[in-house]
């Protein structure tokens, strides 16, 4: 019945349109104004259809990793959040303090936040969210959280078992859940206090979001947006057929032209690089029994020669069609990044000198240097299922030949790489909006555990800085030590110092969409391409006058 009415209505509209067009033809002056005003009305758009990958990452439930990929702020609020400059600012917590011993974090809560069902957000909800995820223990590392104390309805205290300045990572990612409405089926009807609420989720097909009427912040411009879960090829077809307003694109599709659309390219710290074991073979085994150490990569000269000798821009141009940036550290462009780590690369001559001075010389004329009978040769493992990593490995091996270093490529999978990564080079990735990943990839206490510090980096000066940064009670103080740990003028974790990793490039995250969609100010994106752009969807607007140039 409803369908019939719709059909009749659409026929009716069609007739009116035809009449309008015909009327326009008979009177030229009138026609001008009619079409003009019609266009104006049509141009202010407040609904969007987007394609950002085949499934919602984390499926709306933090117990399934929702929030880990900067998507917290779509449906929910968090205690703290980061602005586009990546500064930590308040969200549900107006302000916060950390005690001098860095063990107690006090948050002063707001009282005007409401869930999408109209119920107020309370300190109890905060306590419940953190406690539940700590007990679950699967996707959020909250082992350092001792207990949570509600002092009064507007004040909540987190007591930690050890100082942890990187706790802000969880504070900006863990969403506040409604204590009374959270159960195993939460993902079906996720109630949150963010700018949007989920009204329908057809699994494997689409999710429909509308504005949360109780949202305490600025009302979003787009009243509704629909996410279509299509793969990259289908998404491109949908874009060409005019079904969608914006899609996420892989570098190989970046040059497809669609009328009225533009390509949005956003910087990220989604880095790729090579890990190089820092100890000689015979160093021992990891807790899981995997061999540690490599005789060639443990030579500092080899690592430093690669750091300055490789041509990063050439890798970006060949592998990513130019859609990327050179990378020098795991934390490029972050507030805790030491900018001194940027160096001139592609310095083949200087790299060759470093190698020669360290005793690496090609004596038998086969193009590969040797030292005390040891060839400058090592294996580089890469996940062969990942095209970008595979291609980077190929280019790196080619470039290393110029330095007289032979890199043997071994395409593999993570199950095998896990057993070899402490004694061989690996094409590694990283990138977060917090320095915790940087911490565990360089701290000796965590060496060999899971993917932490696979290179067995152990530099007492660096470790000292890492500890100071972790124990800092303000982010400013912490950032000061994070920076020193990368390079303090004498030593550090970066390529200027020990060079345990040779970071090569950062991917640009690409999205193609209607030129009139204004996605606001985007922070530097992190690892995880698809949904990165959506993090601030509540701030998007429609620029009717913007045109594709």
Please identify, using beta-carbon distances, which residue of 61 and 370 lies nearer to another protein: 61
Please, which residue, 99 or 379, has the CB nearer to another protein? 379
Restricting to residues 379-408, which ones interact with another protein according to CB under 8 A?
383
Per-residue binder mask for another protein (CB under 8 A), 184-213, x = binder: ---x-----------xx-xxxxx-x-----
Q: Looking at residues 136 to 175 of the shown chain, list those that interact with another protein (rule: CB under 8 A).
A: 136-141, 143
The whole-angstrom distance between residue 258's C-alpha and the CA centroid of its chain comes to: 27
Residue 307 CA to residue 260 CA, distance in Å, equals 42
325-354 mask for another protein (x: CB under 8 A)? ------------------------------
Nearer to another protein, 22 or 449 (CB): 449
Range 17-46, binding another protein (CB under 8 A) = none
Question: How many residues belong to the site for another protein (CB under 8 A)?
Answer: 58
Q: Nearer to another protein by C-beta: 226 or 479?
A: 226
Q: Coil, helix or strand for 153?
A: coil
Subset of 238-267 contacting another protein (CB under 8 A): 238, 240-243
**Given the complex with another protein, which of 53 and 293 has the nearer CB atom?**
53
Among 100, 112, 415, 545, binds another protein (CB under 8 A): 415
For residues 118 and 320, what is the distance between their CA atoms, to the nearest angstrom?
Answer: 47
Distances from the Cα of 56 to the Cα of 198, 230, 534, angstroms: 12, 11, 11
Q: How far is the CB of 122 from another protein (least distance, A)?
A: 27
Q: By CB under 8 A, is residue 8 in contact with another protein?
A: no
> Using alpha carbons only, how large is the chain's radius of gyration in Å?
27
Residue 229 · residue 243 · CB < 8 Å: no
CA–CA distance, 215 with 187 (Å, rounded to integer):
20
Is residue 314 near another protein by the rule CB under 8 A? Answer: no
Chosen residue from 45, 64, 181, 420 binding another protein by CB under 8 A: 64
Contact with another protein (CB under 8 A) among 163, 192, 497, 528: 528
**CA of 268: how far to CAs of 203, 243, 325, 470, 532, in Å?**
29, 28, 9, 24, 9
At closest approach, how far in Å is the CB of 228 from another protein? Answer: 6
Under rule CB under 8 A, residue 237 binds another protein: yes
Task: Say how far apart CA 417 and CA 67 lie, in whole Å.
Answer: 28
Length of the chain: 549
Check: CB of residue 524 under 8 Å from CB of residue 86: yes
Give whole-number Cα distances, 152 to 110, 122, 124, in Å.
Answer: 12, 10, 10
The smaller minimum CB distance to another protein, of residues 383 and 533, is found at: 383
- Residue closer to another protein (CB basis): 68 or 535: 68
Residues 428-457 that bind another protein (CB under 8 A): 428-430, 432, 436-437, 440, 449-452
The DSSP-derived string for 332-399 is TTSTT--GGG------HHHHHHHHHHTT-B--SSSS--EETTEESEEEEEEETT-HHHHHHHHHHHHH
Structure tokens at 261: 């659309």
Cα–Cα distance, 197 to 118 (Å, whole number): 12
Task: Give the binding site for another protein (CB under 8 A).
Answer: 2-3, 6, 47, 49, 57, 59, 61, 64-65, 68, 136-141, 143, 187, 199-200, 202-206, 208, 224, 226, 228-231, 234, 237-238, 240-243, 383, 413-416, 428-430, 432, 436-437, 440, 449-452, 527-528
């Amino acid at each position: 019945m409803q369908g019939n009415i719709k059909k009749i209505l659409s026929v009716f509209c069609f007739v009116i349109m035809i009449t309008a067009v015909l009327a326009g033809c008979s009177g030229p002056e009138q026609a001008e104004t009619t079409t003009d005003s019609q266009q104006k009305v049509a141009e202010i758009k407040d609904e969007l259809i987007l394609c950002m990958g085949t499934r919602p990452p984390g499926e709306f439930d933090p117990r399934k990793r929702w929030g880990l990929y900067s998507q917290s702020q779509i449906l929910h609020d968090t205690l703290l959040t980061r602005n586009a400059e990546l500064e930590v600012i308040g969200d549900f917590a107006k302000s916060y303090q950390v005690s001098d011993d860095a063990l107690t974090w006090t948050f002063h809560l707001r009282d005007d936040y409401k869930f999408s069902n109209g119920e107020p957000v309370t300190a109890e909800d905060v306590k419940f969210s953190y406690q539940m995820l700590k007990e679950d223990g699967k996707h959020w590392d909250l082992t350092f959280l001792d207990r949570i104390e509600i002092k009064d309805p507007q004040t909540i205290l987190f007591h930690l078992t050890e100082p942890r300045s990187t706790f802000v990572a969880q504070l900006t990612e863990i969403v506040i859940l409604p204590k009374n409405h959270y159960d195993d089926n939460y993902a079906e009807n996720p109630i949150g206090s963010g700018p949007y609420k989920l009204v329908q989720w057809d699994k494997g097909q689409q999710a429909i979001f509308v504005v949360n009427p109780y949202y305490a912040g600025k009302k979003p411009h787009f009243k509704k947006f629909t996410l279509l879960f299509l793969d990259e090829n289908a998404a491109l077809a949908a874009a060409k057929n005019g079904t969608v307003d914006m899609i996420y694109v892989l570098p190989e599709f970046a040059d497809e032209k669609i009328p009225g659309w533009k390509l949005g390219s956003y910087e990220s710290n989604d880095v790729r690089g090579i890990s190089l074991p820092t100890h000689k073979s015979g160093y021992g085994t990891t807790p899981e029994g995997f061999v540690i150490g490599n005789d060639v990569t443990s030579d500092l000269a080899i690592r430093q020669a690669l750091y300055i000798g490789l041509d990063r821009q050439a890798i970006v141009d060949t592998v990513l069609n130019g859609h990327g940036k050179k990378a020098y550290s795991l934390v490029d462009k972050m507030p805790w990044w030491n900018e001194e780590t940027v160096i001139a690369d592609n310095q083949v001559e200087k790299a060759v000198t470093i190698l020669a001075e360290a005793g690496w010389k090609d004596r038998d004329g086969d193009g590969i240097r040797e030292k005390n009978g040891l060839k400058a040769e090592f294996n580089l493992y890469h996940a062969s299922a990942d095209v970008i990593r595979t291609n980077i490995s190929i280019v790196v091996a080619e470039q290393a030949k110029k330095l007289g270093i032979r890199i043997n490529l071994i395409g593999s999978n993570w199950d095998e790489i896990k057993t070899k990564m402490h004694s061989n080079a690996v094409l590694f990735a990283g990138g977060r909006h917090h320095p915790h990943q940087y911490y565990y990839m360089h701290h000796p206490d965590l060496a060999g555990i899971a993917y932490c510090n696979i290179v067995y980096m152990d530099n007492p000066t660096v470790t000292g800085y890492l500890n100071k940064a972790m124990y800092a009670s303000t982010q400013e103080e912490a950032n000061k030590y994070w920076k020193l740990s990368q390079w303090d003028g004498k030593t550090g974790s970066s390529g200027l110092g020990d060079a345990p990793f040779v970071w090569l490039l950062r991917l640009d995250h690409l999205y193609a969409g209607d030129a009139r969609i204004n996605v606001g100010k985007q922070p530097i994106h992190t690892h995880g391409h698809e949904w990165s752009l959506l993090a601030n969807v509540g701030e998007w607007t429609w620029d009717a006058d913007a045109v594709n140039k």
